[in-house]
Amino acid sequence: MVLDTLNNWKTYKALHKHIASAFQFIVEKDLQTLAEGTYELDGTNCFAIVMSYTTKPKAEGFSESHFSYIDIQYIISGTEKIGTAILKDQQPFEVNKEKDYAFYNSPTENFTLQEGSFVIFFPQDIHQTGIVTDTPEPLKKVVFKLKIT
């Protein structure tokens, strides 16, 4: 997992061939007015999903991991807590390799992600997003999916 601010994104360019494309999207688009939906950057190899939701208590959600994609999650507006854990021997309650997810009800440690910050999750990173900080609040973010080749 990587946690940082937009100012430092170039530090991570060597991690994946599409990281630069993802951050160029952030820098070049007016994210505040960008409609929710999926935006292709390189077909299924690299795409962005713009989403909005209201944060909720941790107990109302669950964690996930992925098999074939790296996630870059960038907060456009709002603040959320994210729970994370390193995938070891946790047992998922649901797995769908075709849709690239495994869901977990295992313990995680929280950190706060706020506007202008991003996190990169690799397949070994279990993560639960959308956790309320103090009171439920609206959040807008973009999630990039980078296919592992």
Q: Residue ranges per domain, the chain?
A: 2-147
Which pLDDT score is estimated for 135?
96
Domain 2-147 has CATH 2.60.120.370: yes
Q: Helices marked H in the chain — which ranges?
A: 19-28
Q: Which residues of 58-93 are buried (b: 16+ CB within 10 A; e: fewer)?
A: beebbbbbbebbbbbbbbbebbbbbbbbebeebebe
Which pLDDT score is estimated for 126?
98
Residue type, 41: L
Q: For 5-32, write each residue's pLDDT tens digit.
A: 999 999 999 999 999 999 999 999 999 9
Q: For 115-141, write each residue's pLDDT tens digit.
A: 999 999 999 999 999 999 999 999 999
Q: Both ends of the chain: CA-CA distance in Å?
A: 18
Residues 6+ apart with CB under 8 A from 112: 79, 80, 81, 82, 133
Average pLDDT over residues 39-65: 97
